[in-house]
Structure 1
């Protein structure tokens, strides 16, 4: 089992990595969002022509698993850098979003009026 790494520690490592290479000047919100989009697209590319069954087994092949992990890491790196630049706590933002979604999309049958389902 790997040791637990916190988000703040990762953001610090990413900031140090960028600072050592004088890349901070390029890490504007606009550039980080563009880079995030590119990396997300590279992740999509891995799955683009797979069937649903093949996509469910993508991690079974060591080469494709490595590619998926690398692209997930790239997406997460740019997302964490964007959050750092904008002063957003990504875990707090996610928690708040889940709270809103739990209200917007209640468990079916939990309320008499289920008009907020995704099908509405």
Structure 2
């Protein structure tokens, strides 16, 4: 298994929590609340930037953004583990759903919500 697999990361995160007796706090409610808080911290890094600035972060800011994204991934993986959800399978399933909802010939270059395409 590759070093960077979600399974390996999940195992390490679960061990981290168990050795600290934190599993008791890692229920889906608390993990999802922590996840949204970390998402807000990520958004703060981009607030008031132009799209161009957001694509060209200075190295220090880029590292801070990477660590916020890591926090988000950590909480997401922990929540999925607690709910017995395979994130990779779920992601592939969701991509299939999105491919059906957003057919290329209908949405190419247009980023509206799926329900808005039915109005055409």
- TM tier, shorter chain? 0.7 to 0.9
Aligned to 1:51: 50
After superposition, what is the alpha-carbon deviation per residue over 1:38-83, rounded to whole angstroms, capped at 9, x for unaligned? 001100000011111111112xx11101101100000000000000
CA distance in 2, matches of 1:4, 1:62: 25
Pair 1:89-2:56 in alignment: no
Secondary structure in structure 2 of the residue aligned to 1:49: coil
Residue segments in structure 1 that go unaligned for 5+ positions in a row: 111-115
What is the aligned length? 111
Matches within 5 A, 1:60-71: 61-71=58-68
TM-score, length of structure 2 as denominator length: 0.86
Pair 1:14-2:13 in alignment: yes
TM-score, length of structure 1 as denominator length: 0.86
- Provide the alpha-carbon RMSD of the alignment: 1.8
Classify 1:49/1:19 alpha carbon distance in 2 versus 1 (closer, same or farther; 3 Å).
same
Residue segments in structure 2 that go unaligned for 5+ positions in a row: 108-112
After superposition, what is the alpha-carbon deviation per residue over 1:62-119, rounded to whole angstroms, capped at 9, x for unaligned? 1101101100000000000000000000000000000011111111269xxxxx9564
Aligned to 2:110: none
